[in-house]
Structure 1
């Protein structure tokens, strides 16, 4: 115990790294959801990634509090009360970790299906998702059932009221092993799918490069599992190191999945900027016509000339989809543009 130095503290490293990665994850997730919502393409994969990021931020908040109590320091430099608090907070972060990782990878699998949906790919990703749910759920069950009462995990009575530490560690080994396999698959599959889609070569290279960031998360997952030991006498230090690797794995996965959509994000915001510029120059009518020409969420193309959607002699219909529209007074004029746009949607 006396061989350790007080300066050997991993807490600051955990804070700095996690805060940087969390900021990038929150920004990229926000841009992704904003873009998908603006394009009326918001899907389950976007919702799952938003929940993933929310859980990751909640987990990071708990870690910040734990560092204040000495998380990252060796056991001999932490008081007994603080050590119990660190172990309690660490237990909460582990409970959040496994569903968060599971949701992130499920989101990536669904994103792949949105790029190209074929029966073999659907079956493959369905099997992967099933395995992800099972392996992460078993870790969660072990954490919840390991000690009776739960507080024995952190109040110093672990040996008398809990399963051997090997049970929890080996369950994490199983989860991490499957995570490594799925990380490789979820990195290679998008590259394979994108490479066979008719898009510019530059776009293919960019998407493949960004998705390859998942391989870094794969390495972090393996190191996270390797950093765990079966001893429980210096958890304030050992679990801080594991948390560093777990956070890197989690946040890099989120960032890589979001940046894979960077071309769509860039295109959306550049078009919005052009629209705002045109509005400022007084081109409201032109922008309205352009907005009617964009595809809707259901895949219909709106008529570029709204006035053509009305026939004063009969029932008004959309030229693009043939869907009957509710008649408007003075339909040949544009007196209620906002209402008209909602109706055509």
Structure 2
């Protein structure tokens, strides 16, 4: 009997731990240098807690069969697994949305010209709209909502291809925005009056979003 639950737990908590390390180093460096902790830091902390909540919920349902083949999951656990997995997915969307907004706000403090500021505001608004719509559709695709985790209950859902295609678009747009946000600092840092070594260090740090 295959059970991918333990492997899932190791993977998601390893990645969440790495994110926590980078977040802690960011806050520590700001405090150590006497720099204020700003709104973008609060948004990033909220993003990490949303990610940790999603991982925690997934870990909970691995104890009742999540990660096993459907035939190996007790039938009475299916409803709980579906319900908790939808909630975990919602928090995962929030984490992705807030992390991008946090970095965009950080870049807004750095850029000094008009066009990049307008473009960053476009990113903030569009990410909110696209991922916000995804979070809404996550639960609104069925009515009553209970039909999401209880397929035998009365009601109706949107056509499955519509939801799948929009989710594919959201994933592609989210990934593209990660790349764009990682590349914007190149135009800012490359012309800065600092050494080449400092430029490369700053560009490496700000381009981590591509990963």
The alpha-carbon distance between structure 1 residues 158 and 132, as it changes in their structure 2 partners (threshold 3 A), is farther
* SS at structure 2 position matched to 1:212: helix
Is residue 142–residue 171 contact of structure 1 (8 Å, CA) maintained in 2? no
Report how far residue 175 of structure 1 moved: 1.2
Partner of 1:20: 14
- The number of residues matched between the two structures is 210
Whichever of the two has the greater Rg, that structure is: 1
**Structure 2 spans left out of the alignment, 5+ residues:** none
* SS at structure 1 position matched to 2:176: helix
Is residue 142–residue 155 contact of structure 2 (8 Å, CA) maintained in 1? no
1:34 aligns with 2:28: yes
Measure, in 2, the Cα distance between the counterparts of 1:40 and 1:178: 33
- Of Structure 1 and Structure 2, the greater helix share is in 2
The alpha-carbon distance between structure 1 residues 211 and 12, as it changes in their structure 2 partners (threshold 3 A), is farther
Is residue 147–residue 158 contact of structure 1 (8 Å, CA) maintained in 2? no
After superposition, residues 250-265 of structure 1 pair within 5 angstroms as: none
199-208 or 152-161: which moved more?
152-161
The alpha-carbon distance between structure 1 residues 158 and 195, as it changes in their structure 2 partners (threshold 3 A), is farther
Measure, in 2, the Cα distance between the counterparts of 1:146 and 1:43: 36
Measure, in 2, the Cα distance between the counterparts of 1:31 and 1:22: 14
Report how far residue 73 of structure 1 moved: 1.6
TM-score by length of 2: 0.90
**Structure 1 spans left out of the alignment, 5+ residues:** 1-5, 217-345
The partner residue of 2:123 within 125, 128, 138 is: 128
Measure, in 1, the Cα distance between the counterparts of 2:186 and 2:61: 39
After superposition, residues 37-76 of structure 1 pair within 5 angstroms as: 37-38=31-32, 39-76=34-71
Q: CA RMSD in A?
A: 1.9
80-89 or 23-32: which moved more?
23-32
Measure, in 2, the Cα distance between the counterparts of 1:211 and 1:40: 18
Moved over 4 A (4+): none
Measure, in 2, the Cα distance between the counterparts of 1:159 and 1:206: 57
Report how far residue 186 of structure 1 moved: 0.8
